[in-house]
Amino acid sequence: MQNNFRAISLSHKSAPVQIREIIALDEASIHSLLVKLKDFFSITDTLILSTCNRTEIYYSHDLDLSTEIIKLIGVEKGITGIVDYIEYFKIFNNDRLAIDHLFKVSMGLEAQVIGDMQIANQVKRAYQASADLDMAGPFLHRLMHTIFFTNKRVVQETAFRDGAASVSYAAVELIEELTSNTYQPRILLIGVGEIGEDVAKNMVHLPEAKVTITNRTFDKSKVLADEMGFDVIPFENAVSAMKDADVIVSSIMKSEPFITKELVSQFDIASYKLFVDLSVPRSIETSIEEVPGVLLYNVDNIRSKASETLEKRLDSIPKVESIISESIEEFYNWKKEMMVSPTINKLKNALEQIRLEEMERFLKNADEKEKAIVEKLTKSMMQKILKVPVVQLKAACQRDQADQMIELLSDLFDLEKVSEKKS
């Protein structure tokens, strides 16, 4: 019997950014946590997804291990009072609900900006991390490939992924709105990871802006700046560039805030200075808002203000949900057949054992030609005998009566005894 598929979720729907940034896992932490789950609990079919908006663990096990897994996150992150954060986690112990949630997350239905295109790649990387550690079995492999196929259908059959409505694009829309009265606004983009790079590419929607990029790895920022026609500066010049910029977008990974109130207090702000923090954990101290002329937005309060694209996506939700439902039904049909596969194999082995024993008993004095004829005849008979119970088993799956049929066949042919004898 397949272990129950479960999920533990902490997201922007259940926890504010100050909680999410404490729980957020980087690649090294995800790898370490996967190894711990494998070693401590022998968990299979495991997926860990951690983005700026969510940290989620999906796993297959016959027991609810949610509390133990949350405690392991605490160990990994060095959080002594992790139990204080349990209330922010949503637990899915129902197989179907967990699968449905993963589909919706992967399609972007659960994203902060609906239909966020980045989530598909983030899910693929999470799956690859599990596969690299042999923590993805036939169940998870089939589930993830069904999700990837569903994503293609959503792209091809709906307007849900049209346009560029993502957190990054929402940030650009916000900048456009708040700098509408500023001639050629000077924008400094700090950090060109996945989100930072996406922000840079969406800057094409601000043709009048003067954009400068900086990154700890200079070569990476240089390649992007050359591609987009932006200026680039060494990371050590970032603070100096902040003084001149009208808008500072920060999307860097750092355990401590990179932009502090003490630093910003030294700037001569004639009119305003907009800070956009797209980092989780946050890279800008919230107290900078106390500095006159400073405006601060983070991933929780960025919203797409004017977007026909967003409206189209919202209109597409019923169609997306319908596609997801079809895919889940298809996956469950496969899952049900997987449940009866061991019984079918046991039945085949039981009949094959009888066939071989009887052939050995009656063909001791037969020549090769006679043996070949009997071999062909008995194999054909066995296939015809197997056909009806196999068809009935698969039909029982569709009626959710597979358990009764498995039990009946096991008793009739004493399959457990045959299996033990073979092993």
Residue among 103, 136, 147 at smallest CA distance from 37: 136
State how far the Cα of 193 lies from the Cα of 215, in Å rounded to an integer: 9
3 state SS of 307? coil
State how far the Cα of 334 lies from the Cα of 338, in Å rounded to an integer: 6
> Which of the following is catalytic: 47, 52, 119, 199?
52
Residue among 88, 95, 122 at smallest CA distance from 108: 122
State how far the Cα of 282 lies from the Cα of 253, in Å rounded to an integer: 8
DSSP H/E element including 296: strand 294-298
State yes or no: cis peptide before 16, omega within 30 of 0: no
In the DSSP assignment, the letter for residue 226 is H
Residue among 104, 112, 111 at smallest CA distance from 7: 104
Task: Give Cα 86 distance to the centre of its chain.
Answer: 21
Instruction: State phi, psi for 286 to the nearest 5 degrees.
Output: -65, -25
3 state SS of 177? helix
Please state, as a whole number, how many other Cβ atoms lie within 10 Å of the Cβ of residue 395: 12
Structural contact between residues 406 and 340, judged by C-beta atoms closer than 8 angstroms: yes
State how far the Cα of 251 lies from the Cα of 253, in Å rounded to an integer: 7
Is 397 one of the annotated active-site residues of the chain?
no
Tokens of 162: 């049209």
> Which residues are known to be catalytic?
52
